[in-house]
Amino acid sequence: MTTLKKGDKAPEFSGLDQEGKSHQLSDYKGKKLVVFFYPKASTPGCTAEACDLRDNFERFEANNYALIGVSADSAKAQAKFKDKYEFPFPLLADEDKTVIQAFGVWGPKKFMGKEYDGIHRTTFVIDENGIIDEVIADVKTKAHAAQILK
């Protein structure tokens, strides 16, 4: 789906989180950044993925990683999701899909025989200098932290 690959410069994104606070790539210079895109807040797969990242958050911090979740949900839905599961990382409410489009994770999907456009569950690991270190398109929702922290 995405045309971004290892070695590419990460898109200069800017988006608002669940509290209306702005986040952009430059905020994370000097840290490794995990940007994980998920289809919809509070759905089973997205909850499993985000909770696995939450449960391993200390390991991410110990390895100089920051995490940001992104979906097209409203700030209200993102805030509810974050509060309910006590996520220690921000969730961008990308309703106009500018960040989603910049990373190329919006496109045709199939579910139960129906075709529609949506977010492809994809994670980007960006190094300290803003270069994509890894693109994970085959996300294992219950063991995603292990996919990133090899």
> How far is residue 88's CA from residue 51's CA, in Å, rounded to a whole number?
10
Active-site position among 34, 46, 72, 91: 46
> Would residue 46 show up in a list of annotated catalytic residues for this protein?
yes
Interacting residues of 147 by C-beta distance below 8 A, sequence separation 6+? 123, 136, 139, 140
What is the biggest distance separating any 2 CA atoms in the chain, rounded to whole angstroms? 44
* CA torsion through residues 18, 47, 40, 34, sign: positive
The residues that are catalytic are 46
